[in-house]
Structure 1
Amino acid sequence: MSPGTVLLGALLVGIGGGAGSALRWWLRDLGMREAARRYRNGDVRVKPWLTFFVNVLASFLLGLIVARLGSSAAGAAELGYLVLAAGFCGGLSTLSTAALDVVELMRRAGFAIAVSYLLLSVGTSMAMLWLGVVIAS
């Protein structure tokens, strides 16, 4: 790979990642504001599920993208993959926040709830990735 190609790839991943991260922030902010409006202590109850939602959404979109463009695409498809899969879906999903949610759930709600949330998050995300691949194929 030439230095120009690597630089272009990094730029495309950065652009897509920035857009995905901005969408994640906006969805979470919207959800937190709505929870605060509707429920007392809504942020505590809703926060992990907002992370769950964006991770599941990102997994589904990644399945669609990989099925359409392939994970080892070349040419224009590779550029699309970099922007959409590595960038946008990578920025939209968030393992670190999910991990923090599990730790907070363990502290507040106990081990069983935290592990259940973790398993549900991973299992649902995997299922949605598979569904995206099936739908797009």
Structure 2
Amino acid sequence: MTWLLVALGGAFGAAARAALVSWSKENGWHRVLPFGTLFVNVLGSFMLGLVVARGAGMTETVGIGIGFLGAFTTFSTFNMEIIQKIETGEGRHALLYGSGSYTLGILAAAAGYFWG
């Protein structure tokens, strides 16, 4: 049953991420920094903070925390976007994006945790 919750949550999380990142690109938010990825990672950090703080049961933790939020957020894409910025000579943007993402992600997780 656990794998089914992860699979279902992951399917919805991946679809939600794809929709938000696509929307971000279509609306020009992706020109300088990958704001779609930044947004989903910060929002996902906040949401995971809430799930953990609320002491969710195993079903919610697996389905939402591991499944949905695991697929919604993306560490691998984040890292590749930094590498691509460096390769194209945008070292400052890479530094801003990387440090900003980590800082905002930690603050969002803390906010979700304390709010929850």
TM-score (norm 1): 0.78
Deviation at 1:26, TM superposition (A): 0.5
Q: Deviations over 1:56-94 (max 9, x none)?
A: 000000001111125xxxxxx101110010111111100
Unaligned runs of 5+ in 1: 1-7, 36-41, 71-76
- Total equivalences in the alignment: 116
Q: What pairs with 1:89-104 in structure 2 (closer than 5 Å)? A: 89-104=69-84
Residue 52 of structure 1: aligned partner: 38
Counterpart residue identity of residue 108, structure 1? T
Would you identify which runs of 4 or more consecutive aligned residues in structure 1 move more than 4 Å? none
2:76 & 2:91 partners in 1: Cα distance?
Answer: 19
Name the larger-Rg structure.
Answer: 1
Residue 26 of structure 2: aligned partner: 33
More helix by share: 1
1:29 & 1:79 partners in 2: Cα distance?
Answer: 30
Counterpart residue identity of residue 26, structure 1? A
- How many percent identity over aligned positions? 29
Q: CA RMSD in A?
A: 1.5
2:94 & 2:26 partners in 1: Cα distance?
Answer: 24
Q: What pairs with 1:9-28 in structure 2 (closer than 5 Å)? A: 9-28=2-21
Deviation at 1:109, TM superposition (A): 4.0
